[in-house]
Structure 1
Amino acid sequence: MNLIRNNPVAMYLQIADRLRVEIAEGTYEPSGRLPSESQIMARFNVSRVTVRLALEQLDKEELIERRKGKGTFVAGKQVRHQIDTLRSFHESLKVQGFNATMRIIDLTAIETPQAFVQLFGQKCALLERLHMVGDEPIALGRSLLPAFMSDLRREIAEQQPTYALLKDRAGVDITSAEIAIGARAAAPRITSLIAAADNAVLLVLERTSYFDNGACAERSEFFIRPERYKFVLGNRIPAR
């Protein structure tokens, strides 16, 4: 779109109008992220001041959310996690069309924490991965896994979701999981990794999954930035 430079309508309002239409048309789905100020400047050949006025106009209309250091997003755009469906965290991002990736933080054999010795024995594997949407960290996943998972190749662990990794190595399906959801302040290491504010209260999903033979497959915690994440539980009315 070319701006009409001698139009009585100010250029920032013309830009706001164009972005408003694109938001309504779903141009910025599925992530909801708008182009950066610099990209909008280049697109319309205008100054940063003009772009900021346009974004301020959309902000006043509550059409966008501007997050310092993160970018500009369609207001209310959130990742949805269907907790009544047995699906890995990474898979829940991919099925919604998000550009989801994972980055390994740690993968090692450890002494099993005392609370989980009954599930895994004295040794287990620790897998920590940063979950990204585009270039934005959205959650840190910390999983305790059976000890035989500690020799996973890192490049594979960065590509495959937890359930797929476990099924490939164990040769057994995961058929059930217990899930708890809460909120709590996280340690500085965690908030730093997911680019949250110090002492931020994060969503925390705790999940314990089981193989078809009843053995524990994994015990995971996901520390999630709450502003872009929503848990959804579906219910059906029983047939009469």
Structure 2
Amino acid sequence: MNPNPQSAIPLYFQIEQDLASLIASGVLAPGSQIPSEEELVQKYGVSRTTVRKAVQELERLGLIEIRRGKGTFVRAAKLTQELTALTGFVEDMVAIGLQPSAKLLSKETVPATEEVARQLRLPIGTEVMQIRRVRMADDVAISLDETYLPLGLGRKVVENDLEVYPIFSLLEGKYDTPLLEADYRIEAVSADPAVAEALGIEEKAPILLIERVSYSLDQNPVDFEKLFYRGDKLRLTTRLQRRPSPIPLEALPRIASKGR
């Protein structure tokens, strides 16, 4: 497509629409890299300013993403995770045909904060093992996982290659710690500088914070995690059953009148 400078439609919008059409048709497939700024300037015969405006609009629409130091790529569809069973990241990614991997950022003994102590049912200040990893799917950063384990169990876990072995698999397959169920808390938050740097996103970008406490036998908490998921990469789904309403039909007018 050759942009028409005589048209009332701005040049950047003509280019934006052409690229959006290529994305919609699959010519530019999800995950593929779009031409560089210089290549787009040559292709469309316009200024860099015009190309940048078109690319910025495509990014604003969520059709592309800019990866620092790598280029600009067509945004893949969101990963869909069903909240119907206790599963780990590797299991979730394999189930949808993606290649999981991990980058270990740190593993260290730290004193339990009030939050960590409460979740693991330990006195505040008790030493626990903290493990921080970036979890990736097809080499794209998806989440930053911050895991806390009781110190005795944590010291065993960190002896393993945590870029290869999931913690769930080690707990169940090597350290005789079956995971039976978990509590989930999900909150929409903004990425702080540390999370943004780890995930390669902008500060204050929308992310999902999932706090998960996993329990073993006798309802003992053995694993507390703070999972920072990119908001543009994950969709959570579940199916809910309707329970009988505790509010009788005849009580509704009375309830409504109180709010006036």
TM-score of the two chains, using structure 2 as the length reference: 0.67
* Preserved CA contact (<8 Å) 1:37 1:52: no
Report the equivalent of 1:159.
164
Q: Structure 1 residues 67 and 115 mapped into 2: Cα distance closer, same or farther (>3 Å)?
A: closer
- Say yes or no: does 1:129 pair with 2:159: no
1:204 to partner: Cα distance: 0.5
Report the equivalent of 2:256.
none
1:95 to partner: Cα distance: 1.4
- Say yes or no: does 1:172 pair with 2:172: no
How far apart, CA to CA, are the structure 1 residues paired with 2:192 and 2:217?
35
- The one-letter amino acid of 1:231's match is L
Residue range with higher mean Cα deviation, 175-184 or 146-155: 146-155
* Preserved CA contact (<8 Å) 1:109 1:125: yes
- Say yes or no: does 1:69 pair with 2:67: yes
* Preserved CA contact (<8 Å) 1:98 1:133: yes
How far apart, CA to CA, are the structure 1 residues paired with 2:184 and 2:83?
8
Report the equivalent of 1:112.
112
- Say yes or no: does 1:103 pair with 2:107: no
TM-score of the two chains, using structure 1 as the length reference: 0.72
1:197 to partner: Cα distance: 1.0
Q: Percent identity?
A: 16
Q: How does 1:1-240 map to 2 (within 5 A)?
A: 22=26, 32-37=30-35, 47-49=39-41, 65-69=63-67, 71-73=72-74, 77-117=77-117, 119=120, 121=122, 122-147=126-151, 148-153=153-158, 156-235=161-240
How far apart, CA to CA, are the structure 2 residues paired with 1:154 and 1:144?
15
RMSD of equivalent CA atoms: 3.7
Which runs of 5 or more structure 2 residues have no equivalent in the other structure?
3-14, 46-50, 244-260
How far apart, CA to CA, are the structure 2 residues paired with 1:85 and 1:98?
19
Q: Secondary structure at the match of 2:161?
A: helix
- The one-letter amino acid of 1:213's match is D
